[in-house]
Structure 1
Amino acid sequence: MMSQESLVTGQNTVKSKKSVKTRVQQFGTALSGMIMPNISAIIAWGLITALFMVPGGWFPNAHIAELINPMLHYLLPLLIGYVGGRMVYDERGAVLGAIATTGVIVGAKVPMFLGAMIMGPLGGWCIKKFDQLFLDKIRAGFEMIYKNFSAGIIGIILAIIGQSIINPLVVSGSNLAAKGVSWIISVHLLPLANIFIEPAKVLFLNNAVGNGILVPLGIQQAGQLGKSMLFLLESNPGPGLGILLAFCLYGKGSSKSSAPGAVIIHFLGGVHEIYFPYILMKPILIIPAILAGVSGTFTFQLLGAGLKAAASPGSIIAILLMTPKGSYIANLAGVLVATVVSFVLSAIILKRDKSLGGDLEEKQAQVEQMKAESKGITNNNADFSRSGKINKIIFACDAGMGSSAMGASLLRDKLKKEGITDISVTNTAIRDLKPEPNLLVVTQKELADRAIAQTPDAMHISVGNFMSSSRYDEIAAMLKQETKENKPSGADKNTAGTTSLLDEIDFDRVQKIYFVSGKNNIGSTTMAVSLFNDELAKTHQKFVAARKALDEVVDSADELLITTKPVAEQLGSQISKAQVIVVDDLLKSKELKELVLYLNGKDV
């Protein structure tokens, strides 16, 4: 018999296998994680620069323009250092991160964003390790003295190290990077950067590349020149827009019907993740995306485009707001060229492709499953042991905004229509996930292993696309079922009837119960197992159900297999000894309710 503990152990084995891409994602997330919470401050600085800079602003004002340099050289680095320290060790680490960052700021002639990214986490790490060594040895009553003086002393030491060592190194590195970027621009090689940027975006490294690398370099360049083209490399909506427009005209099935809505979300909302599944469904479309990115960046460079600050999210609205006076034509031209190139090439591919069809979600699930299997992950929808009713749902993505916020909104509306209003549905960045009781985490399949690592005891459901997932219907069905009374009414008992499928089961032989899933119903099967075990756990009994993939089924006389009709048809003659219960819906089956009652020793 497979125990619940063995299920958890198996999932922990999966978690331990981190691919190179996952490690790159984590490193990139650590960098972008210090930038993303401060995007609003960066935008504030960009707007002040665009509006009131003397000269060059729309409404030049020398008095207000005095805010520009202090914000650039002090406020933004300190905020980055503060957030970097907090990522490592909560508020105590945040304070040390800010103190340590002060050291690299003093005397620097360049904005110390890189220095803040080093000193912030370093400050948090130092105080965390110090507390681990000494905090539990402090006598009662002296905790406050210890905390204040230890943080102050370590902060002073780190500030001095930052001023004496890190500052000169970062200044030299920043100057070298600036010269490198200037050289790339001077020899017209910057467009080649999109060869790496576009595939990285589709693999959900967009925030790592954009906010972790390009934004800090762009801010430094904008501080010197008044604008930077680097802000446009990742945020250019043109490549994705062209692909989505091609699907609007030449796509098939749900990929065509969903594309118009995706165009609005991508181009106006700035949620680039919306077009990633379309490329994953047809990987050759990465070529139009790359060539469109290269063409757009070449146009930006040719016409002298640039933004005052980061355009986040990467919508055309944000780009226009961050565009300095005199650069509108150049910026719009680059977006237009990228869109045209992407559309033409994608249209050619889609028109010539005779095999494209079917459901976008189905194709997307197949692609993601193959990716997961190549990494050694056989179940991206792992349901970890939990007890009690789900009372909170969190949508988690790399940045914690954009696509996850829209996914949370879609599920919130769906639950409201079902009359479920007592469950909190929010969104956050994966790095901010914290273990909570009765928690359901919804994330993209590419990021599922990182979400599981953050909250191993939560229930996890992964989707291919936050904006259009059939899994939301399954989640709503599960939650609606959980809101019903724990004990079946007398009417439920009496309606079991004499024609129940359970009459054909020899329970004296049953030692193990498995819910069998196919490729396209892993999520619903996982939820069904969870609900089934929750009901069984209300009384003491020997059974704990588990999920099995179709290709893992063993024909054994002591196993009871529960599955749906499509999966049962695939089993076919593979099963001769095992006993099988076939139902229409794993989440709404009368037979499964009867089975729970039977196993708990009640009449059915």
Structure 2
Amino acid sequence: MQKFGTFLSGMIMPNIAAFIAWGLITAFFIETGWTPVAELGGFGTDENGEENTGLVGPMITYLLPLLIAIQGGRMVHGLRGGVVAAVATMGVIVGTDQPMFLGALVMGPLAGWVMKQLDRLWEGRVKPGFEMLVDNFSAGIVGAALAVLGFFSFAPVVSGISTVLGNGVDWLVDNGVLPLASIIIEPAKVLFLNNAINHGVLTPLGVSQSVEDGRSILFLLEANPGPGLGVLLAWMVFGTGMARSTAPAAAVIHFFGGIHEIYFPYVLMKPVLLLGAISGGMVGIATLTLFDAGLRAPAAPGSIIAVLAQTPSNAFLGVVLSVLLSAATSFLVCSVLLKASRKKDGDLAGATAAMEGMKGKKSSVADVLAGPAGERVGSAAAGGEAIEDAARTDRAPIQRIVFACDAGMGSSAMGASVLRNKIKKAGFPDVSVSNQAIANLTDDADLIVTHRDLTARARTMAPSAEHVSVDNFLNSPQYDAIVEEVRTTNRHDATSSN
């Protein structure tokens, strides 16, 4: 499920900036926008009496689906797959009268896969000098054929599926049961399916709904920062140990930075807190339903700043109340749950977290405590072996470190920034520290850092690299072990070469 969801969100996440741009253009320039401009908003007629096309309609009809399709094709078969995917998806787009995001999610990877299989058929069999001729004409023929097939066969099917899904959402809203979606969404978020749900499922449906109604509630089902904020506030007041001390910083990053992954470890420490997150999510969705509120476009990242930026002028009350009430509900429920369980692990949690913070050792109970040191995967599996491994001098120098997460943007970017600063302060500015999605990993990195739940997948993508798994991207003592390993191996290599 994670791999499939990551693939779906991987087609949309790199293009979120385009969605935001469309949302801002819509917010400002449509007829009911903040600063209406007929030529840009696509309403009224021009000096010749013809209807203004504007930017809003063409962007949602052509640009955004094509960007998704190109990304899907590239993920399967590189730039060549992306080009064929764009051509093939045009057939689906012009064959329907609605935004074809679902069609792009399917046709893009399919076109890339077809092109990939055909390229394998004549790989190594083309006479020298004819490579460009074969490559260009084969891609053109495949793209044209898939576009025609999509127009006549695929477009009606996808259009029907989109209609059914849209009607299903309308039924949930009309019957007042949409808040029950939190029972699925909130646990799935904590299991790192948040991007898959939001950008792989809700965003395509939400955009279609926004085109018709000017806003969509679906953009806030997963992106609402309220439930996570309530969890972190409860830890700030009633938590213990490292969890309580790190919760304020985590709350700021979560609420204003929009990186929701940062509160997941606080729920995983005590899974019972899912009840608070679910309750907050249900209250937030119910509030949005009551006020008929929603966003114009996706709020990505899920920051309160991004949420307010995409809120229509007539929906501010409902959106703000949904965030505040969901946070308050989550806080109250989680506070009760934390108070009821403090006696069970308060002192142990604080002592173990402090020990791991000072020594960088993995505790056997670290999975349920705050601020764990993380786990070394591979040559050093746990405990003090991570530090011992860092002290070895027979390892190759580390030049490229990659932080990888589901989408390659939120938590991995934050972790990369923290470690990058540590390595620069240690005197190794030439060591590259970057972040990217797991799906885009290649086997040319020296060391890869992931959340422990995602490390197994990362190892399949880059088996030659050294892998380090952590539980908390913001504050992991394992970073100090990595810095020490860089110091040891790189200086040893420099000494040996001299």
Same structural fold, with TM-score higher than 0.5 when normalized by the shorter chain: yes
Match in the other structure for 1:52? 29
Whether 2:359 is the aligned partner of 1:382: answer: no
1:62 corresponds to which residue? 38
**Deviation for aligned residue 1:486:** 4.5
Larger radius of gyration: 1
**In the alignment, does 2:152 pair up with 1:164?**
yes
Q: CA 1:365 to 1:421, structure 2 compared with 1: closer, same or farther past 3 Å?
A: same
Q: Counterpart amino acid of 2:400? A: K
**Alignment match, 2:413:** 405
CA deviation digits over 1:533-570, x for unaligned, max 9?
Answer: xx9xx9xxxxxxxxxxxxxxxxxxxxxxxxxxxxxxxx
In structure 1, how many angstroms separate the alpha carbons of the residues matched to 2:324 and 2:180?
18
Instruction: Show the counterpart of 1:282.
Output: 270
Asked if the contact 2:405–2:412 (Cα under 8 Å) also holds between the matched residues in 1, the reply is: yes
Q: What letter corresponds to residue 21 of structure 2 in structure 1?
A: A
1:178 CA drift (Å): 1.2
* 1:121-270 equivalences in 2 (<5 Å): 121-270=109-258
The answer (yes or no) to whether the contact 1:383–1:458 under 8 Å persists in 2 is no
Point out where structure 2 has 5 or more consecutive residues left out of the alignment: 42-53, 369-374, 381-388
Give the C-alpha shift of residue 265 in structure 1: 0.4
- 1:381 counterpart letter in structure 2: V
Q: 1:460 aligns to what SS in structure 2?
A: strand
3-state secondary structure, aligned to 1:79: helix
Aligned to 1:19: none
Secondary structure of the equivalent of 1:484? helix
1:356 CA drift (Å) = 3.0
C-alpha deviation, 1:325, in angstroms: 1.2
Match of 1:429 in 2: 437
Aligned partners of 1:439, 1:61: CA distance in 2, in Å? 52
Shift of 1:205: 0.5
Residues 486 and 425 of structure 1, relative CA distance in 2, 3 Å threshold: closer
Deviation digits for residues 292-337 of structure 1 (CA, Å, limit 9, x no counterpart): 1111100111111100000000010000000011111100100111
Tell me by how many angstroms 1:485 deviates: 3.7
- Residue aligning to 2:8: 31
Cα drift, residue 466 of structure 1: 0.8
For 1:41, the equivalent position in structure 2 comes to 18
Provide Cα deviations, 1:445-470, integer angstroms capped at 9, x if missing partner: 11111111110111100111111111
Aligned position for 2:484: 477
The 3-state SS of whatever aligns with 1:442 is strand
In structure 2, the CA distance between the partners of 1:35 and 1:352, relative to structure 1 (3 Å rule), is same
Give the whole-Å Cα distance in 2 for the aligned partners of 1:366 and 1:53: 58
Of 441, 447, 452, the residue aligned with 1:445 is 452
Shift of 1:355: 1.7
CA contact (8 A) 1:96 1:124 kept: yes
* Preserved CA contact (<8 Å) 2:395 2:489: no
* 1:100 aligned to which of 64, 88, 91: 88
Q: Which amino acid aligns with 1:45?
A: W
Partner residue, 1:120: 108
Residue 307 (structure 1) aligned to one of 292, 295, 318: 295
Shift, 1:414, TM fit: 0.7
1:248 is displaced (CA, Å) by 0.7
Contact 2:396 2:489 in 1 (8 A): no
Matched residue SS, 2:248: helix
Q: Number of residues paired by the alignment?
A: 457
Structure 1 CA distance, aligned partners of 2:14 and 2:399?
27
Corresponding residue number in structure 1 for 2:399: 391
The one-letter code matched in structure 2 to 1:37 is P
Instruction: Give the share of equivalent positions with the same residue, in percent.
Output: 50
Identify if the C-alpha distance between structure 1 residues 76 and 365 changes in structure 2 by more than 3 Å, giving closer, same or farther. Answer: farther
Q: 1:119 to 1:486 in 2, by over 3 A?
A: closer
**Cα distance, 1:484 vs structure 2:** 2.2
State yes or no: 1:356 paired with 2:349: no
Q: Distance in 1 between matches of 2:20 and 2:493?
A: 51
Instruction: Name which of 399, 403, 423 aligns with 1:415.
Output: 423
Which amino acid letter does the alignment assign opposite residue 406 of structure 1? Answer: M
Are residues 48 and 153 of structure 1, via their aligned partners in 2, closer, same or farther at CA, if it must alter by over 3 Å?
Answer: same
Which runs of 5 or more structure 1 residues have no equivalent in the other structure?
1-23, 371-378, 489-534, 539-604
Equivalent residue letter for 1:25:
Q
Q: Deviations over 1:162-196 (max 9, x none)?
A: 10111000111111111111111000111111100
Taking structure 1 as reference, are residues 73 and 368 closer, same or farther at Cα in structure 2, changes over 3 Å only?
A: farther
Pair 1:29–1:260, CA change in 2 (3 A): same
Contact 1:312 1:318 in 2 (8 A): yes
The CA deviation string for residues 18-55 of structure 1, in whole angstroms up to 9 with x for no partner, is xxxxxx0000011111110110001000110111111x
CA contact (8 A) 1:299 1:334 kept: yes
**Match in the other structure for 1:456:** 463
Q: TM-score, normalised by structure 1?
A: 0.73
Which of 281, 285, 291 is matched with 2:279 structurally?
291
Separation of aligned partners in 1, 2:339 and 2:126: 72
1:238 and 1:338 in contact (8 A); partners too: yes
8 Å Cα contact 2:269/2:367 also seen in 1: no
Matching residue of 1:545: none
Q: CA RMSD, aligned part only?
A: 2.0
